[in-house]
Structure 1
Amino acid sequence: MINENLSPLFLSLKIAGLSIIFVFITGVFLARFLSRREFFGKNVIEALFLLPLVLPPTVVGFGLLLIFGKNGFIGQWLLKYDIQLIFDWKGAVIASIIVSFPLMYQSASGAFKTIDERLENAALTMGASKWRVFLTVTLPLVWPGLLSGLVLAFARALGEFGATLMLAGYIPGRTDTIPLVIYFAVENGEMEKAYFWVAIIVALGFSTIMWLNWWTKHNVRRFEYEEKK
């Protein structure tokens, strides 16, 4: 029986949870804003949003290091307020935000583009405010797409490795997320420890995807049932 300290599990869940709150809010807001607007430079902006999805995580981490490091323009500003991101769990949150944001944005953007604007306009002509239309008309229609993006972004944040290692490093008890623990356990020949954490993160990822698939199929069946009534 492995007597394993579970702090990497709780740290990984905390980092993924905090990052996904920011990712969900900003991803939905930006996707909503850009999905209905066309302007010069929009493609460039969306390409920048999605760039972390195709870049190697170490490249993303290197870029974050240049920005948030002691010599970076944001890092120097943060140091004035005694805020340290390098070799700290908060740096892992930043890394998770950057690598998971493209999944949330892409899913939200696709969901908003499928909405028939006539439904929203009809609600507006009946006297509903824009905020009420968003909550009562738009959000229920796009929620399946938003939930898919949320779950996938959370799973990506939970499994983030390269950018986290570059920015936050590996400090037991402070930045030792599950992927980092697995990597250094293998490096040190602690295979039993590596097997344990691999099983944990595979179980988390598998259960997350299974739940999403179940939820999607359940709601499709419910929609089909309501259509037949």
Structure 2
Amino acid sequence: MSSWLPPEAWEAVALSLRVSLVAVALSLPLGIFTAYALARWNFAGKQIVNGLVHLPLILPPVVTGYLLLLTFGRMGWLGAPLSSLGITLAFRWTGAALAAGVMAFPLMVRAIRLAIEAVDPGLEEAAATLGASRSRIFATITLPLILPGIVAGAVIAFAKAMGEFGATITFVSNIPGQTQTLPSAIYSFLQVPGGEGTVTRLVLVAVGIAMAALVASEWLARRVAARIRGER
């Protein structure tokens, strides 16, 4: 297996999977909260929040990575206090997870928000008239109905995180075995004479992971929808 790809390429694949999974796991709770707030609440500055959430989709990824470096670098306004606590994100794989999560966050929020907006508010209002609290309404009515949207948002975010390059390489660089993710490895092998074969195999691995994620998300969405309808 190792002869099909060099060890450093497999390390990049493994790191990309870890970075993407961590990025999705850490951003999902905030994504659900943000999507719900944008879909259901009216508050001052709502459009500004919506714009900030979607900003990574508009900005060049390198700009987003640079802003992360200014914010979470060792001398950044958040990075400096974190460094004093022994937490370093810049040029670490954890920083790659942060960059991937930031870039994937708008897609996750949009998918979940559309699912929430598709839920009839009358169902929530009826539960409220019966004395149910907001948290109980969300847990027993809204959350089960939007689970397919959450699954879709998580998978879209995972796919985006797997393919993230610009923000990641700007924030954490391209250090083999430490911060070199799958896209960074493809870029690196393209610079090596005779590296086209390895690049092709890495592309096949990326396609395989993406297809597996899509198939898994479709299966999970159908299972969740069937459970909501009461099917067995």
TM norm. shorter chain > 0.5: yes
Tell me which residue corresponds to 1:10.
Answer: 14
Amino-acid identity (%): 36
What amino acid is aligned across from residue 50 of structure 1 in structure 2? Answer: H
2:5 & 2:50 partners in 1: Cα distance?
46
Tell me which residue corresponds to 1:126.
Answer: 130
Tell me which residue corresponds to 2:49.
Answer: 45
Are residues 41 and 97 of structure 1, via their aligned partners in 2, closer, same or farther at CA, if it must alter by over 3 Å? same
Displacement after TM superposition at 1:188 (Å) = 1.4
1:133 & 1:226 partners in 2: Cα distance?
19
Displacement after TM superposition at 1:74 (Å) = 1.2
**Is residue 110 of structure 1 aligned with residue 114 of structure 2?**
yes
| 2:196 pairs with one of 191, 194, 204 | 191
Displacement after TM superposition at 1:213 (Å) = 4.2
Displacement after TM superposition at 1:39 (Å) = 2.7
* Cα root mean square deviation, aligned: 2.2
Displacement after TM superposition at 1:98 (Å) = 0.6
Are residues 136 and 176 of structure 1, via their aligned partners in 2, closer, same or farther at CA, if it must alter by over 3 Å? same
Displacement after TM superposition at 1:167 (Å) = 0.7
Task: Classify the secondary structure of the residue corresponding to 2:180.
Answer: coil
| Bigger mean CA deviation after superposition, 122-131 or 55-64 | 122-131
1:39 & 1:122 partners in 2: Cα distance?
23
| Bigger mean CA deviation after superposition, 34-43 or 179-188 | 34-43
Residues 1-229 of structure 1 aligned to structure 2 (within 5 Å): 1-5=3-7, 6-189=10-193, 190-213=195-218, 216=221
What amino acid is aligned across from residue 45 of structure 2 in structure 1? Answer: G
2:19 & 2:112 partners in 1: Cα distance?
22
Cα displacement string for residues 84-121 of structure 1 (whole angstroms, at most 9, x for unaligned residues): 22211111011011101001111112221222222112
Displacement after TM superposition at 1:58 (Å) = 0.9
Task: Classify the secondary structure of the residue corresponding to 1:73.
Answer: coil
1:133 & 1:167 partners in 2: Cα distance?
40
TM-score normalised by L of structure 2: 0.88
2:13 & 2:154 partners in 1: Cα distance?
20
TM-score normalised by L of structure 1: 0.89
Displacement after TM superposition at 1:83 (Å) = 2.0
Displacement after TM superposition at 1:4 (Å) = 2.8
Task: Classify the secondary structure of the residue corresponding to 2:78.
Answer: helix
1:115 & 1:68 partners in 2: Cα distance?
38
1:184 & 1:39 partners in 2: Cα distance?
46
Is the 2:13–2:181 Cα contact (8 Å) retained in structure 1?
A: yes
| Count of aligned positions | 225
1:39 & 1:129 partners in 2: Cα distance?
20
1:136 & 1:81 partners in 2: Cα distance?
39
1:2 & 1:115 partners in 2: Cα distance?
48
Unpaired runs of 5+ residues, structure 1, are none
Unpaired runs of 5+ residues, structure 2, are none
| Bigger mean CA deviation after superposition, 89-98 or 125-134 | 125-134
What amino acid is aligned across from residue 125 of structure 1 in structure 2? Answer: T
Task: Classify the secondary structure of the residue corresponding to 1:21.
Answer: helix
